[in-house]
A and B are shown apart, each in its own frame.
Chain A
């Protein structure tokens, strides 16, 4: 069974940092592009970052560029999101997502709360 399990969320003050992890299993991780997508409480979906199969090409949405860093470890079947200089509007559930004819599947998500 294809599975993505996120961890690392929690509460952090504005300006702080968090590192999210995503453990992948049930498929050949190194052959898939991976993404982070977030959803603020009661709001819609928002794409955050993308990384290609071997970590060479990355792309972020404008609002996180320079603050968030996506990375992966294919030997460990893991995806990461280093989040720095966090702001209130980064508060959201962060989903790890595989790209396979669309975003499929999605992890269960990990909640990041940025608040003083």
Chain B
């Protein structure tokens, strides 16, 4: 059981906006930044969002991050077929060290 909780799967059609949630606690997201990673099958994960809202230069602005209390959110607008991947949230936990969510598989219908 992961310290951070994500929905196992989300789906959307091209052009739609989808949001992935990541629920934590006061010992992790509630007190520190959330990070997001994107992983395609058979490849290593890549950093997608850092410190809650910032994007590496390669990430399009269709991806955005936000947070409310101990829950972080990743929104993907203008959904495209190439966005189909697994998405993981992560945060530093006071007691456990770095923790990840269980991952969310995004399907573009």
Contacts and interface: CB of A to CB of B under 8 A. Distances in A.
Contacts of A37: 98
> Which of B35, B46, B47 has the largest count of A CB atoms less than 10 A from its CB?
B47
B101 interface: yes
Contacts of B39: 45
25 contacts: A37-B98, A44-B100, A44-B101, A44-B102, A44-B103, A45-B39, A45-B88, A45-B90, A45-B100, A46-B100, A47-B99, A47-B100, A60-B97, A95-B44, A95-B45, A101-B50, A101-B54, A102-B35, A102-B50, A103-B45, A104-B50, A106-B44, A106-B45, A106-B46, A107-B44
A10 interface: no
Interface centre among A46, A95, A102, A106, by most chain B C-beta atoms within 10 angstroms, is A102
A109 B44 contact: yes
Interface of B: 2, 35, 37, 39, 44-47, 50-51, 54, 56, 88, 90, 96-103
Interface in A35-60: 35, 37, 44-47, 50, 59-60
Contact of B97 (A44, A59, A104): A59
Nearest to A62: B96
B8 to A, nearest CB: 10
From A35, A60, A101, name the one whose CB has the most chain B CB atoms within 10 angstroms: A101
Nearest to A101: B50
Contacts of A61: 96-97
B35 A103 contact: yes
Interface residues of A, number: 21
Contacts of B35: 102-103
A62 B51 CA distance: 25
A15 interface: no
A16 interface: no
Interface string A79-107: 00000000000000001000001111111
